[in-house]
Copies of this chain bind each other. A is one copy, B any other.
Amino acid sequence: MTQHELVFRFATHADLPSIVRMLADDNLGSQRERYETPLPESYYLAFEQINRDPNHELIVAEQNGEVIGTLHLIFLPSISFQGRLRAQIESVRVDKRFQGQGIGSEMMKWSMERARQRGAHVVQLTTHKSREDAHRFYERLGFKGSHLGMKLSLK
C-alpha cells in the first residue's frame, strides 16, 4: 500500500468525533465547533438526518484505517437548468497532519466523479473569501469563482 492510497466510504456514527475534530481544527472552525468528549448531542442529531437522506452523503477518507479527511456531498434537485440535478460540496477538511500530500485533491476528484455518476451537471461550493489557498486549490481542479456567496445569520 502506498502512502497515498485512500479509501472513501460513507461516514458512520462512530466517525463523528474524527469529523468534528477536523472541522474544529482551523481558524474559522475553532470559533464555531465544540470538539469535546462526549460530543454535544446536536452533532449526532444532525448526523441522523444526513444519514437517512439519500441526497446527502457524508464521506470520510481513510488511510491505513485512519480517518484523515471528510466532506459532505449533497445532491440538489432543481427546476433551473431544465430540471437538472446539482451537486454541492460542504465541509471539506483534511487532517492537518496529512495536508500538502494531495489528499484534498483526491477527495475532490472522487467527489466530482461521484457527482457525475449520480447525474449532476454541476458541482458547486462556497469558500470563505479569506481562504485564498482554498480558492487556488479549487481553481486548479477546474472550478470557476463565478458567484458571490452571501450569508445571513438568523437570531
Contacts and interface: CB of A to CB of B under 8 A. Distances in A.
A154 B116 contact: yes
Contact of A77 (B50, B76, B85, B152): B50
A152 B146 contact: no
A152 B144 contact: yes
A26 to B, nearest CB: 11
A121 B154 CA distance: 5
A155 to B, nearest CB: 8
A122 B79 contact: no
Contact of A153 (B23, B34, B121, B153): B121
A40 to B, nearest CB: 6
**How many copies, total?**
2
Interface stretch (A2-10, A61-69, A98-106, A134-142): A134-142
Chain A interface residue number, banded? 35 or more
Interface string A29-47: 1001110000010111111
A124 B152 CA distance: 6
B23 A80 contact: yes
A154 B112 contact: yes
Given A46-B77, A79-B19, A122 B151 contact: yes
